[in-house]
Amino acid sequence: MAPSAREYDRIRTVLAEADPDEPLTAREIHQLLEARGEQFDSPHRVATVLGRAARRDDVQVIRSSPYRYRLET
């Protein structure tokens, strides 16, 4: 299943509200989404959506272990 713009918008909205100081892992983002009532299949799905957005320079991917993500403003 290809990531949809709607999925990315949901992630973006939740992260804007949370306003994290540090880049977050897909698991941490998934936990934020669930805490706010947003249903996502898994942290892997979050990583897929953000990885695709990174191709458009909307997301910075920090290639550490585990990967971390920061949305560009």
pLDDT in tens, 26-44: 999 999 999 999 999 999 9
H helix or E strand, kind and range, residue 50: helix 43-54
Average pLDDT, the chain: 92
- What domains are defined for the chain? 5-71 (1.10.10.10)
Q: Give me the residues of the chain with pLDDT under 70, please.
A: 1-3, 73
Task: Give the 3-state secondary structure of residue 32.
Answer: helix
Rounded to the nearest 5°, which phi and psi values hold at 68?
-125, 155
Neighbours of 65 (CB within 10 A): 6
Distance CA 26, CA 46 (A): 6
